[in-house]
Amino acid sequence: MNRGLILKFENLVQLRGACWQLRTLSYRKVYRAQWKPVQSSAHPVSSLLLYPQFWQKDKLISVALSQHRHLATKEEAKKKKKKIPLTKGEVEIRQKMTVEELARAMGKDIDHIYEALLYTDLDLHSLEPYSILHEDIIKLVVKKSGMKYKSAKLKEEKERENTDAVKRQVVDYPAVLTPRPPVVTILGHVDHGKTTLLDSLRKTQVASMEAGGITQHIGAFLVHLPSGEKITFLDTPGHAAFSAMRARGTHVTDIVILVVAAEDGVMEQTIESIQHAKNAGVPLILAINKCDKPEADPERVKKELLAHDVVCEEFGGDVQAVNISALKGENLMVLAEATVALAEMLELKADSTGLVEGTVIESRKDKGKGPVTTAIIQRGTLRKGCVLVAGKTWAKVRFMFDENGKAVDAASPGIPVEIMGWKEVPSAGDEILEVESEQRAHEVVAWRTYVEQQERMKRDVEVIEAKQKEHRMEYEKKQQKLAHLTWRQRKAVLYKANKHLMFSKPRERTEVDKNVLSVIVKGDVDGSVEAILNILDSYDADDECKLDIIHFGMGDISETDISLAESFNGVVFGFSVKANESIKQLAAKKGIKIKLHSIIYKLIEDLKDELNSRLPPSVVENTIGEASVLNIFSVTVGKNKIPVAGCRVQKGLLDKKMSFKLLRNGDVIWKGSLSSLKHHKDDVQVIKTGMDCGLSLDKHVEFNIGDEIICYEEKEVQQTTSWDPGF
DSSP per-residue string spanning 343-395 = HHHHT-EEE-SSS-EEEEEEEEEETTTEEEEEEEEEES-EETT-EEEETTEEE
Q: Which amino acid is at 557?
A: I
Identity of residue 88: K
Contact 350, 180 (CB under 8 A): yes
The pLDDT of 478-488, averaged and rounded, is 78
Confidence of residue 34 (pLDDT cuts 50, 70, 90): very low
Q: Which amino acid is at 323?
A: N
DSSP three-state, residue 281: coil
Residue ranges, CATH 3.40.50.300, the chain: 177-351
Least confident among 5-14, 312-321, 680-689: 5-14
Terminal-to-terminal C-alpha distance of the chain: 103
User: What letter would DSSP give residue 325?
Assistant: B
Is the per-residue pLDDT at 708 higher than 90? yes
Contact 626, 652 (CB under 8 A): yes
Q: How many CA atoms lie within 13 A of 274 on its CB side?
A: 16
Residue 43 has pLDDT above 60, yes or no: no
Angle between helices 135-144 and 110-117 (to 10 degrees): 100
Query: Strand, helix or coil at 410?
Result: strand
Please compute the mean of the pLDDT values over residues 221-244 and round it to a whole number.
67
Higher per-residue pLDDT: 197 or 422: 422
Residue 57, amino acid: K
Nearest to 655 by CA among 685, 621, 698: 685
Average pLDDT estimate for 646-664: 93
Higher-confidence position of 494 and 292: 292
Percent of the chain whose predicted confidence (pLDDT) is above 90: 21
Beta strands 410-411 and 431-435: pairing type?
unpaired
d(CA 35, CA 469): 45
Which range has highest mean pLDDT (59-68, 213-222, 571-580)?
A: 571-580
Can you tell me the distance from the alpha carbon of 192 to that of 259, in angstroms, rounded to the nearest whole number? 7
Count Cβ atoms below 10 Å from residue 94 Cβ, excluding itself: 13
Which pairing describes strands 96-98 and 284-289: parallel, antiparallel, or unpaired? unpaired
DSSP characters over 428-480: TTPEEEEES-HHHHHHHHHHHHHHHHHHHHHHHHHHHHHHHHHHHHHHHHHHH
User: pLDDT value at position 209?
Assistant: 44
* Nearest one of 289, 268, 332 to 192, comparing CA atoms: 289
pLDDT given at position 727: 61
Quickly state the pLDDT bin for 89 (edges 50, 70, 90). Answer: low
The amino acid at residue 631 is N
Residue 82: pLDDT over 50: no
Instruction: Calculate mean pLDDT across residues 84-92.
Output: 60
Looking at the chain, the domain(s) classified CATH 3.40.50.10050 span 516-614
Using CA atoms, how far apart are residues 301 and 314, in angstroms rounded to an integer?
Answer: 13
**Could you tell me the strand order of the sheet in which 255-261 lies?**
219-224, 230-235, 183-188, 255-261, 284-289, 320-323
Angle (CA) 140-143-149 rounded to 5° is: 95
What's the Cα-to-Cα distance from 114 to each of 85, 103, 124, 154, rounded to whole Å?
19, 10, 7, 28
Mean pLDDT along residues 344-357:
88
pLDDT 10s digits, 162-220? 888 888 877 666 667 888 889 888 888 777 777 788 777 766 434 444 444 443 344 67
Question: Which pLDDT does position 39 carry in this prediction?
Answer: 38
**pLDDT of the residue at 21:** 56
pTM of the model: 0.57
Q: Tell me how far apart the alpha carbons of residues 623 and 651 are, in angstroms, rounded to a whole number.
A: 10
Mean pLDDT of 44-72: 38
Helix (H, G, I), strand (E, B) or coil at 94: coil
Looking at the predicted structure, is the pLDDT value of residue 235 above 90? Answer: no
Q: How far is CA 185 from CA 125, 453, 718, in A?
A: 73, 35, 45
- So what's the architecture of 352-484 in CATH? Beta Barrel (2.40)
CA–CA separation, 24 and 460 (whole Å):
42
Q: What is the pLDDT of residue 316?
A: 86
Residue 325 has pLDDT above 50, yes or no: yes
Give the containing element (helix H, strand E) for 589. helix 581-590
pLDDT at 390 over 60: yes
Given a cut of 90, whether residue 709 has pLDDT beyond it is yes
The H or E element containing residue 676 is strand 674-679
Instruction: Please give the backbone phi and psi of residue 128, each rounded to the nearest 5 degrees, phi first.
Output: -120, 165
Q: What is the pLDDT of residues 590-635, one digit of tens each?
A: 999 999 998 888 898 899 999 988 888 888 889 999 999 999 988 8
Supply the DSSP string of 616-658, one letter for each residue: PPEEEEEEEEEEEEEEEEEEEETTEEEEEEEEEEEEEEEETTS
pLDDT of residue 23: 55
Residue 514: predicted pLDDT? 60
CATH class of the region 618-717 = mainly beta
Section 284-292 average pLDDT: 89
Could you give the residue range(s) of every CATH 2.40.30.10 domain in the chain?
352-484, 618-717
CA atoms within 13 Å, Cβ hemisphere of 601: 14
Return mean pLDDT, the chain: 78
Average pLDDT over residues 721-727: 80
The answer to whether 711 and 626 are in contact (CB under 8 A) is yes
Residue 137 is predicted with a pLDDT of: 86
- How confident is the model at residue 175, as a pLDDT? 65
**Inter-residue contact 523 to 577 (CB < 8 Å):** yes
Q: What is the mean pLDDT of residues 562-570?
A: 88
Identity of the residue numbered 637: V
- The predicted model gives 420-433 an average pLDDT of 88
* Whole-angstrom distance, CA of residue 395 vs CA of residue 373: 11
CATH number of 516-614: 3.40.50.10050
21 or 627: which carries more pLDDT confidence?
627
**Range in 149-158, 233-242, 377-386, 623-632 the model is least confident about:** 233-242
Report the pLDDT value the prediction gives residue 422, as an integer from 0 to 100.
Answer: 93
Highest mean pLDDT among 153-167, 456-470, 646-660: 646-660
pLDDT for the residue 62: 40
Residue 26 has pLDDT above 60, yes or no: no
CB atoms within 10 A of CB 48: 19
Average pLDDT of the segment spanning 141-162: 72
CATH code of the region 177-351: 3.40.50.300
Q: Is the pLDDT of residue 48 over 50?
A: no
Is the separation of the CB atoms in 654 and 711 below 8 Å?
yes
Confidence of residue 156 (pLDDT cuts 50, 70, 90): very low
Give the pLDDT band of residue 498 (cuts 50, 70, 90): low
Instruction: Find out whether 596 and 603 touch, Cβ atoms under 8 Å.
Output: no
Inform me whether the pLDDT recorded for 682 exceeds 80.
Answer: yes
